Amino acid sequence: MRPKAHIFYGTIAAIVLYFLGISPVELFLFWISSWLLIDTDHFIYTSISKKTVNPLKIIMGTFRESKIRTGLSKKKSEIYKYPIFAFHNIETLILIFILALFYNIAYFALAGFLFHLSLDYIQLILRGRHFLSKTSIIYVVLRNKNKKRLVF
């Protein structure tokens, strides 16, 4: 899902939470977690893949890879490695949950991450794709063995 869509849906969800009496700080943490914080892993992945720290090259590379992957048939996409996204997985959610046990405000970051992942899962399912690529780093690492790297 494009960042614009995550920003839009995250904003709508934050407005709903506002009317439920959530504080501005908690709303902001939810909102920023629902699109910006969780998606920094896309930029880290592209920066490492492209060996660049140039923000424009990273953004263009991220969109280029997304367009290429989206255009692949389901069968063709199975021959390529899934990208490893550090924040789009259960392991990160568990760490944020543990943090929230000590700092209640982290529950709003957890809610933002869960909201974002829910939107990603819905989109992947509607496209007929596996959502497991955004479920576990362990799954992705094991699944990527003997797969080709997608050049973008």
**Does the reported pTM lie above 0.75?**
yes
| pLDDT greater than 90 at residue 130 | no
**pLDDT tens by residue, 30-60:** 999 999 999 999 999 999 999 999 999 999 9
**What is residue 78's predicted lDDT score, i.e. its pLDDT?**
87
Two tokens, residue 63: 């969109």
pLDDT confidence of residue 55: 94
pLDDT score recorded for residue 152: 80
Q: What is the pLDDT of residue 100?
A: 98
Q: What is the pLDDT of residues 60-104, one digit of tens each?
A: 999 999 899 888 888 888 899 999 999 999 999 999 999 999 999
What gap in Å lies between CA 88 and CA 114, rounded to an integer?
9
d(C-alpha 110, C-alpha 90), whole Å: 11
Distance CA 122, CA 1 (A): 10
CB 132 within 8 A of CB 125: no
Question: For position 28, what pLDDT does the model report?
Answer: 98
Provide the mean pLDDT of the chain.
Answer: 93
Longest CA span, the chain: 50
